[in-house]
Amino acid sequence: MSKIGYGRVSTRDQNPDSQRDALAAAGCDRVFIDKASGKLDRRPELDKALDYLRPGDTFVITRLSRAARSLRHLLDLAADLRGREVDLLVLKQGIDTSTPTGRLQFHMFGAFDEFLRELIVEGTLEGLASARARGRVGGRPRALDADGIEMARALYEMKSQDGKRKYTVQQIADRLGVGRATIYRNLDAEPT
């Protein structure tokens, strides 16, 4: 009977060390860590961890949200583990499905987690709509303003004495301090 740990961080910039430490402290024999969004279906380390499990093992995670994308996915995961005679231990939420109380807690916390995720998404969408109504838009600022686009266009259209373009897109991009893709995007020019 082994304890197999799984952790996940949402972005490449996040550090999984706290999860790895908690799983090691829980006595996990092997630990698998993914660096992927919770929304993604493809999580290779989760697949490896689940393949590694044998009857009598315990699958250990720090939080329910680390292993599941939704309540449906969480319930499917729990059913799969139960069918394979593998227990689930969730450290931060004190869930241990080897007991009837733990199985009840598992379902309750799973429903609460999904509810909170939906509230966060709803709040985010409301905030974005409110900002747009006030004329603010999110995202990265434009690399070129109207003057920069006009200058790029003038440079792009300049011809040398032999009738060829005087400046390459790369030269224009270098002069304006932007990437070539920015020039192509703003001029609707075909890459050369």
Catalytic residues: 10
Q: How far is CA 117 from CA 31, 39, 43, 65, in A?
A: 26, 11, 20, 9
Question: Are the C-beta atoms of residues 96 and 107 closer than 8 Å to each other?
Answer: no
What is the rounded distance in angstroms from the CA atom of residue 60 to the CA atom of residue 157?
A: 63
What strands lie across the sheet with 3-9, from one edge to the other?
A: 30-35, 3-9, 58-61, 87-90, 95-96
Q: Is 95 exposed, middle or buried (0-12, 13-18, 19+ CB in 10 A)?
A: buried
Tokens of 111: 């429903």
Tokens of 136: 């603010």
Q: Which residue has the tokens 């987690």?
A: 113
Q: C-alpha 123: how far from its chain's center?
A: 19
